[in-house]
Chains A and B, each alone.
Chain A
Amino acid sequence: MVGPEQLHSAALLGRIDVRGVSFWYPDGTRALSAVDLVLAARRINVVFGPARAGKSSLLRLLNRLQDLVPGARHTGDVLLNGVGIFGPEVDVSDLRRRVSMVFAVPTPLPGSIRANLTYGLRMAGHRDTAFLEDRVEWSLQQAALWDEVKDRLDSSAYALSGGQRQRLCLARSLALGPEVILLDNPTSGLDPLSTALVENALQVLKDQVTIVMVPHSTQQAARLADRAAFFLDGELVEAGAGAEIFLGPTDKRTEDYVTGRFG
């Protein structure tokens, strides 16, 4: 568990190494084939490509949410700060607090805004009210939601609009003080204004947290990417600095996709 203060100081935390990872769903479909990828610490890492490219499958593998798919299997390894996440000594709950996930459809948990934000911390055993209150305010400010909800923290999270819900889900993840945040198409259902709010929040956050994001569009990918990885049919086609990938891709398929010739 990393506290907000430590978040600012620990310079190297949050690097993920994906090494030769393949992944199969229970029906035998191969969603990822031999993927080698470095997700840089404290950067916005964009994972993009057409539908069924394996982007979401990869993200859900990084915090072991794929464990919940009975019959799914993988080969290869994923290292968080150099340590394998599939090792027998790894506490999966702890891993999911360090590598937190925000989904495409923002689903608040039943209960108040405050309860949503403190849920993860409470489940981790935190009981200190002052600490929890601090975290609620801090995480809401990070997610650019504090001003809109500070007077109604005890009202139902379902009273929020779609854009607010997504920032609530982002804040909920941030409250845990993660090293990495996985965002699976977090602006899919949002209007342009809410999208801008979420994107701005991410630009600020990347100084403290590694961000791995499946973007809503190629435009969004180009806007945000410090690093980008292009996937096609479960294969990593090309990865590199954002500017390289979007302005001068080396692979023909990347170029075709980025310039809008397909996808």
Chain B
Amino acid sequence: MDASRAALSRTTRPTRSGNRMEPWIERAVRLAGLSAIFIVALIFIFLIRLSLPALTRIPLSAFGDLRWYPIEERFGLVSLVVGSLLVTAVAVGIAVPLGLVTAIYLGEIAPPWLGDILKPLIEILAGIPSIVLGFVGWVALAPLVQRLGAPTGLTAFTGGLILAYMALPTIISIAEDAIDAVPKSYRDGSLALGATRWQTIYRVVLPAARSGIVTAVMLGIGRAVGETMAVMMVTGNAAHVPRGTSMLFQPVRTMTATIAAEMGEVARGGTHYHVLFLIGALLFLITFAINSVAARLVGRRRTGEGGG
């Protein structure tokens, strides 16, 4: 090594302490990352291991039973799955359109000062504990729903309303972020071609923000599917299969509520116990499926955009 090179390497070499710490920091970061993956894998294995006995002890067809009556060894999952689907469908049907329109209003139409007030308020809504919302639903919403003509106020519809309310802040704030991130040059380009404001929003801004909007909707749905306490309080908690045109206005029980309500009183290791874990695994599969669909929708967009 010649003199000038030696001088160079001396000045660019990291300080001694930095040099010695480097491998340890790297190891710590790697450990943190791997342990997260490890824990997720453990939970997954745990869930599978505890739900497998249910599958071996009960024939698969028994899960198709319309009745959920564990004391008589009747483990029909239909009523629970239908309950969850109904409540989620109502929530999504209300929260997605309302959330997206609100996000468009905040991002594109509202004057900046109003947005500055409304956005933090909406984000505070996301922080309200679900049990409090359940309370509100029980005391305020349920009587309203009953006045609409339902036999009881505690119905799938009431649960859906509460869930919609819970999913809204998530959907609004993530969708608004996505709309906000669309470059101004897109809007300028569209408007300079004679498009109106609404045409620009609908044809340029929303398509450009699509991946963020899909994420917002999926996180909102994910929250709705997995929510327990508030739903348990306002859906009436009756494990029967709702039928007919008024099915939204009948009491139901969701998968999550079933686990929460019954876990405390089952015999450890009994069939009922393992079936509850099976329901948990089923929920896991549903959320996994939702996330996969979302990832695919987002991913397809990215590749379509090329070097954008």
Contacts and interface: CB of A to CB of B under 8 A. Distances in A.
A65 B208 CA distance: 21
17 contacts: A65-B191, A70-B112, A93-B196, A96-B191, A96-B192, A100-B192, A100-B193, A100-B194, A101-B188, A109-B189, A109-B190, A110-B305, A119-B195, A123-B195, A123-B196, A158-B305, A159-B307
| Ranked 7 nearest A-B pairs via Cβ | A120-B193, A158-B308, A97-B194, A101-B192, A107-B185, A123-B195, A96-B194
Given A158-B306, A159-B306, A159-B307, A65 B188 contact: yes
Interface in A89-114: 93-97, 100-101, 103, 105, 107-111
A254 interface: no
A78 B234 CA distance: 63
Contact of A94 (B194, B204, B207, B307): B194
A63 B192 contact: yes
Contacts of B191: 65, 68, 96
Interface in B204-250: 204, 207-208
Interface stretch (A168-176, A228-236, A238-246): A168-176
Interface of A: 63, 65, 68, 70, 93-97, 100-101, 103, 105, 107-111, 119-120, 123-124, 156, 158-159, 169, 172-173, 176
Given A103-B188, A110-B204, A111-B207, A172 B193 contact: yes
A42 to B, nearest CB: 21
Contacts of A159: 306-307
A110 B304 CA distance: 10
A176 B193 CA distance: 8
Nearest to B209: A110
Nearest to A68: B191
Given A68-B191, A119-B203, 11 more contacts: A65-B188, A94-B194, A96-B192, A96-B193, A100-B194, A103-B189, A110-B204, A124-B194, A156-B305, A156-B306, A173-B193
A25 B305 CA distance: 35
Nearest to B208: A110
B192 A103 contact: yes
Nearest to A112: B304
A123 B203 contact: yes
A94 B308 CA distance: 30
Interface string B61-92: 00000000000000000000000000000000
A96 B196 CA distance: 10
A92 to B, nearest CB: 8
Interface residues of B, number: 24
B199 interface: yes
Contacts of B190: 109, 119, 123
Q: Which of A97, A101, A108, A110 has the most chain B CB within a 10 Å cutoff?
A: A110
B105 interface: no
A105 B185 CA distance: 8
A111 B305 CA distance: 8
B135 interface: no
A139 B306 CA distance: 24
B207 A107 contact: no
Nearest to B193: A120
A107 B192 contact: no
A93 B194 contact: yes
Contacts of B203: 109, 119, 123
A109 B196 contact: no
Nearest to A98: B194
Interface string B165-204: 0000000000000000001011011111111100100011
- Kindly name the residue among A96, A103, A109 whose own CB sees the greatest number of chain B CB atoms within 10 A: A109
A107 B193 contact: no
Contact of B186 (A65, A101, A109, A120): A109
A123 B306 contact: no
Contacts of B192: 63, 65, 96, 100-101, 103, 173
Contacts of A65: 188, 191-192
Contact of B111 (A70, A97, A111): A70
A164 to B, nearest CB: 12
Nearest to A178: B194
Interface string B251-268: 000000000000000000
A194 to B, nearest CB: 16
Nearest to A91: B194
